Amino acid sequence: MIVLDEYRAELKKDVHWFEDRILKRFLRYVAFPTTSNRQATEIPSTPGQRVFAEALAAELRSLGISQVEVDDHSYVYSCLPASEGLSRKVPPLGLVAHLDTASDAPGENVKPRVHEHYDGKPIVLEAGVVLHPQDSPQLLSYKGRTIITSDGTTLLGSDDKAGIAEIITAFEYFTLHPDEPHGKLELVFTPDEETGRGTNEFPRDKLASSFCLTLDGGGDGTIEAECFDAYNVNVTIKGKSIHLGDARGRLVNAVTLLGELLSMLPAAESPEATDGRYGYYAPIEATSTIEEATVSILIRDFEERECLRRVKAIKACAKALETLYPGAVCNVKSEKQYSNMFPYIKKEKRAFALIKEAIQMSGIAPRETIIRGGTDGARLSETGIPTPNLFDGGFNYHSRKEWAALDAMVRACRTVICLAQLWTRD
């Protein structure tokens, strides 16, 4: 992490205000239980997201922002009109974050812990959870600074409540500084991003912006324009039950077949065995009885052809099971979730130059990286709204070891403010 000395004096201005506003907001937001449900079909998939959406709308109105809406699907939309006195018409800029948290770790009754003047040592939390610099070397970049964790019994929720806190604080800043130049700013907070359905009911008709940013993770100072192509594969295995005492030559145990199927997936192409640009198979949920077993497998890669290769391989494995176990029936259904957003974003050279300059102005050297995951920006980019992802100061997402760095959160907020100002350039 490279902090730029040339901006240190400017960054001292209002720093305590930013720290106070962002931290208080974030601590308040993570208390809302907003875990989404992959199995639900409605949007939002859980009632807590609606409660959180209404609370955020009320907060925005309390800041004096008049145009605030929450629709039937709990999307929050708000906008700030362009500042007065601009010499030209500035294109609107959209800011996007999501309401829900992942179901991969417990997300209710979150009890955040604020560690001021972090000493660089392992942080011992509850439930045997230890946050160690050996596992999270980024911690050492914030020695002496403030970091936030959960108590170890839940995730923290910086994915994506850090992004929400930063966007709302940026809006508040502009309401308090009406002389600061900016074009029209729009925000959208989406439900169910973690289920892959965050943009299914996106209020596209309300959005005037033709370019947006998600604030949804990434290391300090990062801008991300490339993500996975993503497929979800659901396999249903039907067996045949019989009394176990009479099972010889007659029983077809779907539980056994499920284990066989999973053992056919190459261990070298799993999330725990890959990094960088390598893709994977990821079984995430399974149910099983003797008569029927189901499994959901995520397929991820930066090249769509590699995703399709893996889908084809799963179908071949299912066919092999039917051959090996007469009487078994395997059904495979695949669904594309989102595309790599890079082809839609790579042409936005001016926007990227401004984003990098804004990151520099926040006090850190910009870094362009890839996302080993996806954001709402992937789906938005497909619809014609290029939407790269900006860092938000959170780390170790979807885990009880999740943590956030207050310095990075402040820089993310300042980046948004600086970008809004740079956006007014001719």
Active site residues: 100, 193
C-alpha to C-alpha distance for 426 and 240, rounded to whole angstroms: 70
Strand (E) or helix (H) holding 105? none
Determine the residue type at 378: A
Question: What contacts 8, CB < 8 A, 6 or more positions away?
Answer: 363
Rg of the chain, C-alpha, whole Å: 23
Decide: helix, strand or coil at residue 84: coil
What are the two backbone dihedrals, phi and then psi, of residue 31, each rounded to the nearest 5 degrees?
Answer: -75, -15
Distance of CA 295 to the CA centre of its chain: 23
**CA-wise closest residue to 140 among 160, 121, 167, 168:** 121
Residue 178: CB atoms within 10 Å? 9
Query: Phi then psi for 159, rounded to 5 degrees?
Result: -95, 85
Separation of CA 367 from chain center: 18
399: exposed, middle or buried (Cβ count in 10 Å: 0-12, 13-18, 19+): middle
Q: Is the peptide bond before 283 cis (omega within 30 degrees of 0)?
A: no
Q: Work out whether strand 212-215 and strand 93-98 pair parallel, antiparallel, or are unpaired.
A: parallel
* CB atoms closer than 10 angstroms to residue 408: 30
Quickly count helices (H) and strands (E) in the chain: 10, 18
Q: CA 118: distance to chain centroid?
A: 26
Contact 282, 297 (CB under 8 A): yes
Structural contact between residues 46 and 36, judged by C-beta atoms closer than 8 angstroms: yes
- Cα dihedral 137, 140, 142, 144 in deg (nearest 10): 160
Rounded to whole angstroms, how far apart are CA atoms 296 and 299? 10
Classified as helix, coil or strand, 357 is: helix
